[in-house]
């Protein structure tokens, strides 16, 4: 089939086609894992032109939805859940020794390549898995912390760079949203529940009073704008690097644990 693509657009067209495959297979997969969904072409075209799109929110919403379905399922034998679980593998491999390192991994490769490949997982039993979580070296939990020499205060203004803006969004409580066809996903997002990863002290928190998992397309748009809102004049203080021996938890959390 001849597409009659202008020569100046050929490279961008091929790039958009590749990004469409990547979005459908790796970032936002659905039950139709072998299909390239038409809705992805708009996002792929924008990315191919160099536009910034927030893919973390819908990808994380898909992960939350998948994990919620698994945790609430009465039986896992016949359960089929499709979500980007490779990000879970990457998270586990970063924080816990659950995988063997890939023998051909190089430092210029993405970190997730370290854990890719068949039979790379250590497959611990239930008791060994529990010990992995209990005996964790606390210093590794700082992977997402900003290790500055001194504490800094960020104020959400127009002068804030895009990277700092993204960091503030990561710290903001709200709702993760995703629309896949007629399926709408709304999941609560409370980063304060895993503050240790950001270098903050972890405390025991009560369950959120907001726990909506259903809604309309208008709700999706409202929650999206609330989570990604910019120039709010809100501020947050990033603490200085903690002591490497620090567990980054409060006494209340330690007693609860």
Q: What are 81's strand-pairing partners? A: none
Let me know: does 176 contact 64? Beta carbons within 8 Å.
Answer: yes
- Give the pTM: 0.82
Q: Count Cβ neighbours within 10 Å for each residue of 145-162 and write b for 16 or more, e otherwise.
A: bbeeeeeeebebeeebee
The tokens 């501020």 sit on which residue?
A: 235
Range of lowest pLDDT (107-111, 153-157, 226-230, 233-237): 107-111
Q: How many helices (H) and strands (E) does the chain have?
A: 8, 4
* Domain residue limits, the chain: 1-53, 140-257
pLDDT at 203 over 90: no
User: What average pLDDT does the segment 4-22 reach?
Assistant: 87
pLDDT at 27 over 60: yes
Model pLDDT, residue 44: 95
Beta strands in 99-234 (DSSP E): 152-155, 174-180, 183-189
The more confidently predicted of residues 172 and 2 is 172
pLDDT at 167 over 90: no
CA dihedral 210, 213, 215, 217 (to 10 degrees): 110
Band of pLDDT at residue 211, cut at 50, 70 and 90:
low
The mean of the pLDDT values for the chain is 83
Q: What is the DSSP letter of 173?
A: -
Model pLDDT, residue 210: 54
Band of pLDDT at residue 212, cut at 50, 70 and 90:
low
Cα–Cα distance measured from residue 174 to residue 190, given in angstroms and rounded to the nearest whole number: 7
The tokens 């104020």 sit on which residue?
A: 155
Which contacts qualify for 34-43: CB closer than 8 Å, 24 or more apart?
39/181, 41/16, 43/19
Cα–Cα distance measured from residue 120 to residue 92, given in angstroms and rounded to the nearest whole number: 13
User: What average pLDDT does the segment 35-50 reach?
Assistant: 90
């Amino acid at each position: 089939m001849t597409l009659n693509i202008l020569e100046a657009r050929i490279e961008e067209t091929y790039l958009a086609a590749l990004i469409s495959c990547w979005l459908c297979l790796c970032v936002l997969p659905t039950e139709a894992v072998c299909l390239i969904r038409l809705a992805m072409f708009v996002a792929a075209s924008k990315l191919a032109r160099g536009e910034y799109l927030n893919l973390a929110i819908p990808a994380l919403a898909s992960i939350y939805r998948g994990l919620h379905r698994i945790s609430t399922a009465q039986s896992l034998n016949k359960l089929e859940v499709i979500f980007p679980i490779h990000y879970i593998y990457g998270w586990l491999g970063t924080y816990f020794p659950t995988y063997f390192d890939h023998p051909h991994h190089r430092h210029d490769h993405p970190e997730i390549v370290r854990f890719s490949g068949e039979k790379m997982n250590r497959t611990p039993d239930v008791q060994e898995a529990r010990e992995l979580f209990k005996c964790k070296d606390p210093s590794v939990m700082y992977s997402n912390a900003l290790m500055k020499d001194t504490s800094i205060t960020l104020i959400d203004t127009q002068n804030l760079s895009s990277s700092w803006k993204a960091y503030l969004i990561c710290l903001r409580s709200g709702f993760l949203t995703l629309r896949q066809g007629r399926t709408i996903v709304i999941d609560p997002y409370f980063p304060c529940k895993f503050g240790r990863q950001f270098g903050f002290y972890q405390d025991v928190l009560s369950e959120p009073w907001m726990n909506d998992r259903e809604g309309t397309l208008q709700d999706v748009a409202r929650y999206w704008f609330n989570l990604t809102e910019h120039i709010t004049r809100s501020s947050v203080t990033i603490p200085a690097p903690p002591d490497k021996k620090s567990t980054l938890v409060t006494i209340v959390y330690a007693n609860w644990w």
